Each structure stands twice: as C-alpha cells, then as structure tokens.
Amino acid sequence: MLTIPPGLDPDLLRSFVLIAEGGSFTRAAQAVGRTQSAVSMQIRRLEDILGQPLLLRGTRGVEPTQHGHWLLERARRLLALHDEIHATFRQPAVAGSVRLGSPDDYAIRWLPAILARFAASHPAVQVEVTCAPSNELVERLEDGELDLTLISEGNEPLGARPRWLWRGPLFWVGTEEVARRRPLPIALANGGCSWRKAAVAALDAADLPWRMAYTAASLSGSLAVALAGLAVTVAMPAPLPEGLRVLGAAEGLPVLPEFGIGLLRGPGTPVSEALSRHIEEGFALEAGFEARLRA
C-alpha cells in the first residue's frame, strides 16, 4: 500500500526560514505575530515530521544544522511559489503601473529579488524604476513624479514618517595599505549623501587628517576607486569584491554610525500599496543578513 508522507505546513516552513535567516526565535515570533513558545513548538513539529534536527543554538545565536541548510534553500523556493499561488487566486487583480525610486546602492542589493517576486504575483503591473541620490528622489516624490521611493536616513522631509525597513552599521572598505595613509584618501558620493556626512563627521571627530580623493555617483564607482588602491570608501554590510575588506580600528579608522533605509510613499493606489507590501516583506526576509555576514 502506498504511504503518503505528512504534508508540510507553509506556516511551519515560514517560521523556520525566519529563524534560520535571522538567528533568533524572538525576531521570528515578532514577524509572524506569535509567541516565542508557539514558534518553538512549530519548529519541534517540523523536526518531528522530517525526523532530523534543523536548528542549533550556538555562540552566534541560532544556526541551521546540515539538514537545516539543505531545507532552507528549498523552503525559500516553496514559500515563494506558495505566496505566488495565494496572491494570484485570493487577491484582487491589480493592474497598471507604479513608479519606484531607489538609490543605486539599494537597487543592486535589494531590488532584484523583490521585483522578481512582485512580477510573479502581479504580472499585469508595470514597474518603472528611477535610480538617483536620496535627496533627488525625495524631490521627485514631492513633485508627483514617483509613487514611492527608498531613501537613506537623514534625507526624509520635515514631518515625513518613512516606513523604516532596515538599520545597520556602515563600514570602511578598502585595503590596509591605503587606510594607513595620511591624510587619508577617501572616495564618497556628492555633498548631499548621508554616508559622506557620517564619514566626514567621524574623521573630524577623531582628528584624523583626510582628503577627498574621488567623488563617485554610486557605491560601485567608489568601490572601483578602492579596488584601484586610490582611496578607501564606505559601504553597508554586503559581499565585497575580491581584493577589498572591511577596515576599522586596527587601521586607525574611527567607528562609523548606524544608518537606516526608509520607504516614502506618495498618495496610495492599489498598485503602489501592493508594491510597498512586497518591499517591506523583502527587507524583512533579509533581517538576519548583516548578522550572518559579520559572523
């Protein structure tokens, strides 16, 4: 007689993915709106179904076991397909266009996965993406040229209430040899960039001599200068090109502050609200990225 294995509840898999990516039962419980004990019971139920331990508590928090790593990759795909099916049949049809703004750095880091999921669940929506510095994107939103935009903290208009999606540290990036030069050659964006303001303020507070060696319009331009051994730059947690590394106190560089990434929205429409939800969910899925990278 054919034995049918027990089904895998998407809610169990979702809690597992959130814990595995974020390294915390507490953050996962907050994300799914359950108590920590309820989420722990979900993981025990999933491990009972599969017959293998999936998560272990270590010195760096909760980490997947070998079987957990195998499941994590497949659970992400399964949940994406589950959400696509659910959205297609249960949500009202959304059609039209939406205009999204984003600084170049965030477009490369976050938008590909977010836009791919959005296109799969809303195939009748056309997304127009504009990449520019945060201050320019704010102006375009206020002028009605954008429906929503990502911005760096420090560029929000007076009285605005962005939806804060992510917060994490900034890092000095470059090579050790360049980092020990004085005055320190730096490559950053134009004067309105919040990263530039933070870097310059930290250097001045540490009384460390510096010079602006290059001004680049995007992080990729600054990284290219750093790769050439001409300057150090500032970046957020992300995989770095080969030849560059995170720099800090060992090279005599001051600590940089944390910064936030926010979402500003214009007058809401069904299309822009749908994209806004996808953006918020996409950033939530990446909540544990910085902790994993630093580990």
- Average pLDDT over all residues of the chain: 86
**What CATH architecture is 96-168+259-294?**
3-Layer(aba) Sandwich (3.40)
User: Does domain 10-90 fall into CATH 1.10.1740.10?
Assistant: no
Q: How far apart are the first and last CA of the chain?
A: 48
pLDDT at 73: 87
Work out whether the CA dihedral 36, 285, 239, 250 comes out positive or negative: negative
pLDDT at 92: 58
Q: Would you say residue 291 has pLDDT above 50?
A: no
Q: What is the pLDDT of residues 203-252, one digit of tens each?
A: 999 999 999 999 987 788 889 999 999 999 999 877 788 899 999 999 99
Domain 171-256 belongs to what topology?
Answer: D-Maltodextrin-Binding Protein; domain 2 (3.40.190)
d(CA 276, CA 270): 10
Given the structure tokens 């990516």, which residue do they identify?
Answer: 21
Amino acid at site 134:
S
Start and end residues for every CATH 3.40.190.10 domain found in the chain: 96-168+259-294, 171-256
